[in-house]
Amino acid sequence: SVVKEHIGRTVIRSVHALSYLQAQRLMDGDDPGTETTLAHTGKPVPVALWAEMREALRGLDVVAQLRLRFRRSGGAISLESGGEFKFRLDAAHRPDRVNQKQQLPIHGTIAELMILANQCVAQATLHTHPTSALLRRHEQPPLKKLQRVLELAHQANFALDASSNVALAASMQRAQAQLEEPVFAALNAALTRAMSEAKYVVAAQVSDFAHFGLGIQHYTHFTSPIRRYADIIVHRLLLSDPERVEGRDP
């Protein structure tokens, strides 16, 4: 569990911007190399930084794995679909190739740390704004929607327990180990379609804030204010707390 946290206005001085692939190579003990990209990431990493960055990345990965284990114990459900796809267009702007984005362990590391940040902020805003905090709630899917998933599992001679998110997550882990890959993929896809949509809620509107899929009691969106308006609202809630206004721009 988190022992201590600090939420405040800060300036981060970055010594280098790593691409995901470079970060993964460093964690694996390899030369980070370079990537051909138009973005600010992927440029050569000074050798003098390798050891320090590798140690920091591996430390973050340890934290992420501990947090993932904690969420799974609370019933977190993994519905990975195999990654994103990118289409290449020809001169006539028609798709002529599709590539699957390479999924690296570092992607899961960063995702887990973002979930942790969002969870901590959700708890903080709920404490300071018990009626107006903006949270992300994910309800348990109705049994009617899960019925098709249970039927598919039965056809595969697998007993799926959907009585709770903890039981469902454990069952899906067993299914992945016992069923053939195409069968499990079909079962996983059916479960994804059966899931309820997560919704933004104001704290005063509901009494249960739990996020069924993530297996945690409090969650919000905080980490992407450049692309989600909900995150901006959460940032404003944080800044409206008198304990955090010091240093705020006039």
DSSP secondary structure, 41-107, as one string: SSPPPPHHHHHHHHHHHHHHHHHHHHHHHHHHHTT------S--EEEEE-TTS-EEEEEEPPP-HHH
Please report the pLDDT score of residue 195 as a whole number: 92
Please report the pLDDT score of residue 45 as a whole number: 92
**CB contact set of 34 (below 8 Å; sequence gap of 6+):** 22, 42, 43, 44
Tell whether the torsion through CA atoms of 57, 62, 68 and 71 is positive or negative: negative
Please report the pLDDT score of residue 229 as a whole number: 95
Please report the pLDDT score of residue 92 as a whole number: 86
Q: Which residues pair with 211 in a beta bridge?
A: 138, 216
**Residue 112 — very low, low, confident or very high, per pLDDT cuts 50/70/90?**
very high
Please report the pLDDT score of residue 94 as a whole number: 85
Amino acid at 40: H
**Residue 36 — very low, low, confident or very high, per pLDDT cuts 50/70/90?**
low
Tell whether the torsion through CA atoms of 241, 244, 246 and 250 is positive or negative: negative
Residue 171 class from Cβ within 10 Å (0-12 exposed, 13-18 middle, 19+ buried)?
buried
* Between 15 and 58, residue with greater pLDDT: 58
**What does the pLDDT look like over 213-234, one tens digit per residue?**
999 999 999 999 988 999 999 9
Helices (H) and strands (E) in the chain, counts: 7, 4
Interval 194-209 mean pLDDT: 94
- Are 245 and 239 a contacting pair, CB within 8 Å? yes
To the nearest 10°, the Cα dihedral for 177, 182, 186, 191? 20
Tokens of 119: 């969870």
Q: CA-CA distance, 36 to 233, in Å (whole number)?
A: 36
Residue % of the chain over a pLDDT of 70 = 91
Tokens 């997560």, residue? 198
73 HSE (CA, 13 A, CB side): 7
**What does the pLDDT look like over 91-106, one tens digit per residue?**
888 888 766 667 899 9
Phi, psi of 202 (to 5 degrees): -95, 140
**What does the pLDDT look like over 52-86, one tens digit per residue?**
999 999 999 999 999 999 999 989 988 765 556 66
